[in-house]
Amino acid sequence: MHQLLPANLKESTTIVAIAPDPLDKLGDIIPKVKARTDDKFLITLLADADHATIDRYGLLNEQAATRGRFLPHPTTYVLDKKGKVTWKFTEIDYKVRPTNEMILTALKKLP
C-alpha cells in the first residue's frame, strides 16, 4: 500500500496493522510481506493476542471464536491526524478486502 501512495501522502501517512498474534510471532510476518512486495517493510505491527482491541471495536469473528480462534473480521480504518475515524471498511467474508483505490480515495479526502 505504501508504495502506491502519491508523494504528498507518503510523508503524512502511517500504516498500522493489528494482528491477533502474540508479539513474538509478529516478526514472522515481515519476511512474508517483503517477499510479496519486494520493498521495504513500512508497516507498524501491533499485537492483540488477548483480543482486547478486537473486542473493543466489535470485530470478533464469532464463528472462529467458537473454535478457540479469536480472529477479527478484516477491517480497514482511515484516521485523521487527531485520531478520528474518517472511513471504515469491515467485511464478514475474510476474502473480501477494500481495494487500494478505495483506501487511496479515503486518504485523499483527509484535510
CATH number for 47: 3.40.30.10
Our count of domains for the chain comes to: 1
pTM for the full predicted model: 0.81
d(CA 21, CA 48): 6
pLDDT higher than threshold 90 for residue 29: no
d(CA 39, CA 19): 21
d(CA 63, CA 7): 41
Domain limits for position 62? 2-108
Quick one: pLDDT band at residue 111, thresholds 50, 70, 90?
Answer: confident
CA distances from 97 to 5, 7, 12, 48 (A): 18, 24, 23, 20
Tens of pLDDT, residue by residue over 70-91, are 999 999 999 999 999 999 999 9
pLDDT-above-70 percentage for the chain: 98
Burial 89-104 (b: 16+ CB within 10 A, else e): beeeeeeeebeeeebb
